[in-house]
Amino acid sequence: MKRIARILGFILLAVLGATLLGGFGGGSFGLHMIVHMGIVAVVAPLLAYGVRGTRFDLPAGAARISPMLASLVELVIVWFWHFPAFRKIADASLAVSLLEQASFLVAGVILWHACFRPGDGRLAGTIGLLFTSMHVTLLGVLLALAPRPLYRVGDVTCFGILLPAAADQQIGGVVMLMVGALAYLLGGIVLLAGLLREDEARCRSAGSILPAS
């Protein structure tokens, strides 16, 4: 399963990279957000799961980062690249845009890797993913409901379709809400459900070995 997860992760990463290269220069924030969310919400968990416990695993220092610290690091990286001044720099340079997406990938893999930590780490992982869902939701809402375009003026091109910058930004905000926030929320719920099942199994096992009264 881990090998399949790694293969799927790298295939999707290649597809998203091709999407970024093909659409670069159109100025679409919606396209940027599709690539961004695909990397952090789909590719990153696939790769994080696929490398854990294998010879491809993260270096010891990165592997020991707590889920909450990893979530805070991702928060800083994500919000940094979405300040209008830095977004403008990334949109003007393909090299900077690739660096931006690479930083999302590294932060995302470290976060999901930390949250997938077995045993007692699952509770911390649940908290980390739920916190990430909260800050991604906040940013998505701010982008979708902003009264004016924050990054572009006029029209932009998204997958060959000409859109007003305001509508394109709203699409990007909705993508962030529907894909990013939902992925982190579901990830936290799955981890919590697994933790509760383990606790229930331990309680049943302890009850089965108690002497009958």
What dihedral angle (degrees, nearest 10) is formed by the CA atoms of 68, 69, 75, 76? 160
Q: Would 210 be classed as within a structural domain?
A: no
188 falls in which pLDDT band (50, 70, 90)?
confident
Provide DSSP, 129-189. Answer: HHHHHHHHHHHHHHHHH-SS-SS--SEEEETTEEEEHHHHHHHHHHHIIIIIIHHHHHHHH
Of 17, 23, 18, the closest CA to residue 159 belongs to 23
Tell whether 212 is covered by a domain. Answer: no
Does the residue 78 lie in any domain? yes
Does residue 211 belong to any structural domain of this protein? Answer: no
Q: Which residues contact 41 (CB under 8 A, 6 or more apart)?
A: 108, 179, 180, 183, 184
Instruction: Report residue 82 as tokens.
Output: 């979405």
What is the distance between the alpha carbons of residues 96 and 108, in angstroms, rounded to a whole number?
A: 18
Which range has the worst mean pLDDT, 6-10, 15-19, 43-47, 177-181?
A: 177-181
pTM metric for this prediction: 0.87
In-domain check, residue 62: no
In a domain, 189, yes or no: yes
Mean pLDDT over residues 111-135, rounded? Answer: 84
- Give a yes or no: residue 73 inside a domain: yes
Q: What is the domain range of residue 48?
A: 2-54+67-194
Q: What is the tens place of the pLDDT at every residue in 134-186?
A: 999 999 999 999 989 899 888 888 888 899 999 999 999 999 998 988 899 88
Sequence-separated (6 or more) residues with CB below 8 Å from residue 3 = 50
Decide if 140 is inside a domain.
yes
Task: Look at the chain and report how many structural domains it folds into.
Answer: 1
d(CA 181, CA 91): 24
- C-beta separation of 117 from 66 below 8 A: no
By three-state DSSP, how is residue 27 classified?
Answer: strand
107 neighbors 90 (Cβ within 8 angstroms):
no
Query: In this predicted model, what pLDDT tens digit does every residue of 54-111 receive, in sequence order?
Result: 888 888 777 788 889 999 999 999 999 999 999 999 999 999 999 999 999 999 999 9
